[in-house]
Amino acid sequence: VCIHRVRSCSSIRFIKSKYVCVFDKSALKFSHQQRLFRTSAVSCGQIVQFKLSDIGEGITEVTVKEWYIKEGDSVSQFDSICEVQSDKASVTITSRYDGIIRKLHYNLDEIACVGKPLVDIEIDASKGVAPEEDVVETPPMSHEEHTHQEIKGHKTLATPAVRRLAMENNIKLSEVVGTGKDNRILKEDILNYLAKQTGAILPPSPKAEIIPPLPKSETVPAAPKDKARKIPVPVSRPIVFSGKDKTEPITGFHKAMVKTMSAALKIPHFGYCDEIDLTQLVQLREELKPLAQIRGVKLSFMPFFIKAASLGLLQYPILNASLDESCQNVTYKASHNIGVAMDTEQGLIVPNVKNVQVCSVFEIASELNRLQSLGSAGQLGTNDLTGGTFTLSNIGTIGGTYAKPVILPPEVAIGALGKIQVLPRFNGKGEVFKAQIMNVSWSADHRIIDGATMARFSNLWKSYLENPASMLLDLK
């Protein structure tokens, strides 16, 4: 459509004045055409060569380091066009005009000369721009004069692109809070304003006419759009939102996740959930925390969960196994390398604590500290991230009760721990007491693990945690 307009414009350039009169009258009847003809009738797509302005200090040449736009993009006044560098100075070149970029005169890393054309811009509407003016010399206020609007005596600063957006959405600029320089209204401000208006009926505007920049000889009487505005009340208007969908390719980390998770879901999962009363463990941890602190280690609940899991795996080694690809052989892993799911900036990573079966709770806590600090610094190595045989995911630190965790191949089981909640429970005497309750959700590979095995393992794990003293009997 743009290109078509340009071509048709160039052919009528010589009969410009005649067309102005004709098109303006018809424009009044059809609001959508109003815009089309307004822009083309008056300026006829004048291409202006935007020259590289003076950098100062007598510099004549700069290197173009980055383009922020490409040919065909539309720009508004003050949008950044490119970044150039000269002798340790980096300069952002901004557009003096609204329009469409038609030509870039330089490629990246080429030398551009001050005073020579940098880009060609096809100008949007009649602005009366003098192409020779130096962007730098002119103080800011004169650029903005033609973008001022007098609405109820208020001067609102906004570029023509922003004003058009406001007009399309029937927004009064005086009602929008500007967050740009000098309280200038930016595109984001209009979009924020719109977002707040969702569901609300836009009030009819009695007086304010947003005057399009036509030559002064023509006035704009009310178009049918204005008549609709004057009808008071609940005609709910469709809210116009100018946001765009954004598509980007899946790369790197996410690509790997896609692969891993697709493989994981080939495993037939079954779930088993339960509720654990951690009242005693909470108390125990409170007592042990300062002791660990003295030894320089931060003690959370995880080391207990991990050690209890390992004790359970000693009784039910099938949960610490691996099924080969052809499902012909099961390998029972000797080491309990228990993985702990961690949420980082990048996403999910699962470092593991090696040989939990021979580690004390304190050693596990210390190792966890090390993995956590490396994890948050993004410095975990391949050794820490591979070789896991069983995984625990403490999603409860973020929230939630029950979950449906996905097994991480080549493992065969995984447990998700919900948050610890204080809930009322009955004790043996039938009295209500305050209990610290946490939910666990196990998933296991149903090809080699059956429900009974999972249930018994879970019960054993639960008993160790509900009565921590019993762990002492079986600790190796």
Give the sign of the dihedral formed by CA 303, CA 308, CA 314, CA 317: negative
Binding of other proteins at residue 140 (CB under 8 A)? Answer: yes
Catalytic residue among 105, 143, 269, 446, which?
446
Do residues 48 and 120 make contact, with C-beta atoms less than 8 angstroms apart? yes
Residues in contact with 151: Cβ distance below 8 Å, sequence separation at least 6, in sequence order: 172, 173, 174, 208
The CA angle 26-27-28, to the nearest 5 degrees, is 90
Interhelix angle 451-466/302-315, nearest 10 degrees = 130
Tally helices (H) and strands (E) across the chain.
14, 21
Binding of other proteins at residue 230 (CB under 8 A)? Answer: no
Provide, rounded to whole angstroms, the least separation between the CB of residue 428 and other proteins: 45
Is residue 143 annotated as a catalytic residue, yes or no? no
Query: How far is residue 351's CA from residue 342's CA, in Å, rounded to a whole number?
Result: 8
- Select from 8-16, 214-222, 246-254, 394-402 the region that touches other proteins (CB under 8 A): 246-254
Query: How far is residue 315's CA from residue 412's CA, in Å, rounded to a whole number?
Result: 16
Q: Scan residues 386-405 and list those touching other proteins (CB under 8 A).
A: 386
245: left (phi over 0), alpha (psi -120 to 50) or beta: beta
Binding of other proteins at residue 263 (CB under 8 A)? Answer: yes
Q: Closer to other proteins at the Cβ: 391 or 401?
A: 391
Q: Closer to other proteins at the Cβ: 137 or 431?
A: 137
**DSSP letter assigned to residue 462:** H
Query: How far is residue 37's CA from residue 24's CA, in Å, rounded to a whole number?
Result: 8
Binding of other proteins at residue 137 (CB under 8 A)? Answer: yes
The CA angle 386-334-465, to the nearest 5 degrees, is 90
Cα-atom radius of gyration of the chain, to the nearest Å? 34
Binding of other proteins at residue 49 (CB under 8 A)? Answer: no
Provide, rounded to whole angstroms, the least separation between the CB of residue 250 and other proteins: 8
Query: How far is residue 203's CA from residue 206's CA, in Å, rounded to a whole number?
Result: 9
Binding of other proteins at residue 221 (CB under 8 A)? Answer: no
Provide, rounded to whole angstroms, the least separation between the CB of residue 241 and other proteins: 22
Which of 255, 295, 298, 434 lies at the binding interface for other proteins (CB under 8 A)? 255
Binding of other proteins at residue 377 (CB under 8 A)? Answer: yes
The two structure tokens encoding residue 344: 């980082």
Binding of other proteins at residue 136 (CB under 8 A)? Answer: yes
Provide, rounded to whole angstroms, the least separation between the CB of residue 273 and other proteins: 25
Total residues contacting other proteins (rule CB under 8 A)? Answer: 54
Binding of other proteins at residue 242 (CB under 8 A)? Answer: no
Q: Closer to other proteins at the Cβ: 122 or 411?
A: 411
The two structure tokens encoding residue 411: 């493992």
Binding mask 343-362 for other proteins (x = CB under 8 A): ---xx-x-------------
The CA angle 181-183-188, to the nearest 5 degrees, is 85
Binding of other proteins at residue 410 (CB under 8 A)? Answer: yes
Do residues 407 and 445 make contact, with C-beta atoms less than 8 angstroms apart? yes
Q: Closer to other proteins at the Cβ: 252 or 428?
A: 252
Q: Scan residues 75-134 and list those touching other proteins (CB under 8 A).
A: 78, 83, 85-92, 94, 108-109
Provide, rounded to whole angstroms, the least separation between the CB of residue 384 and other proteins: 9
Q: Closer to other proteins at the Cβ: 18 or 181?
A: 181
Binding of other proteins at residue 298 (CB under 8 A)? Answer: no
In three-state secondary structure terms, 351 is coil
Is residue 79 annotated as a catalytic residue, yes or no? no
Query: How far is residue 469's CA from residue 463's CA, in Å, rounded to a whole number?
Result: 10
In three-state secondary structure terms, 93 is strand
Provide, rounded to whole angstroms, the least separation between the CB of residue 313 and other proteins: 18
In which residue are the tokens 């001067």 written? 155
Catalytic residue among 182, 324, 450, 474, which?
450
Residues belonging to the active site: 446, 450
**Which residues contact other proteins (rule: CB under 8 A)?**
55-57, 65-66, 78, 83, 85-92, 94, 108-109, 135-137, 139-140, 179, 181, 249, 251-253, 255-257, 259-260, 263, 322, 324-325, 331, 346-347, 349, 377-383, 385-386, 408-410
